[in-house]
Amino acid sequence: MAFHLLERDREGGRQLSGVLLQAVEEIGHCRRCRTLTEDELCGLCANDQRNDTQLCVVETPADVMAIEQATDYRGRYFVLGGRLSPLDGIGPREIGLDQLAGILAEGRVEELILATNPTVEGEATAQYISDMAAEKGIQATRIAHGVPLGGELEYVDGGTLAHAFVGRRKVGYF
């Protein structure tokens, strides 16, 4: 992109830099869910039609957008801004788990949906949060991971296939 702007569209590059500067100065984090927003509360948190009994925990604001665009989920979100990684100095405080604990203590959440990425760190983070939920008597669920829609088994990596196989569910009437 940089080469294109420098070689063919310097004015577009200037406009882009202005927009990026404005975004950096005006966009912050929602005080409730921690996603990116220009306001104190993001549009999702300000919407009183959302389901307060469901809370979906994701790693990034991009994950919120992906879920909103692909599903009919109508609950609330909590954005970690990362995942636990002790080797990198990222512990519970760095990803806002103290704030999440406060939300869980309010007593409105009945289901905590763990939608962290299926990496070693993402799974460890999901387990840590699941334990937090269990301490509060809140049901924790994990989004399914496995074979992508339209995928063929011979092309799916072994780890994904193993995870999908373990997470299989009943179909039909038997």
Q: What is the pLDDT of residues 55-105, one digit of tens each?
A: 999 999 999 999 999 999 999 999 999 999 999 999 999 999 999 999 999
**Residue pLDDT, tens place only, 17-56:** 999 999 999 999 999 999 999 999 999 999 999 999 999 9
Give me the helix-helix angle, 97-105 and 120-135, nearest 10°. 30
Place of tokens 């038997």: 174
What span, in angstroms and rounded, lies between the C-alpha atoms of 18 and 131? 45
Q: Residues 119, 127: contact at Cβ < 8 Å?
A: no
Number of domain units in the chain: 1
| pLDDT for the residue 92 | 96
| pLDDT for the residue 173 | 66
| pLDDT for the residue 124 | 95
CATH code where residue 87 lies: 3.40.1360.10
Residue 18 lies in a domain: no
Residue 58 lies in a domain: yes
Report residue 127's pLDDT band, with 50, 70 and 90 as the boundaries: very high
**Domain that residue 71 falls in:** 50-144
| pLDDT for the residue 146 | 84
Residue 94 lies in a domain: yes
Residue 1 lies in a domain: no
What span, in angstroms and rounded, lies between the C-alpha atoms of 82 and 5? 31
Residue 32 lies in a domain: no
What span, in angstroms and rounded, lies between the C-alpha atoms of 20 and 59? 23
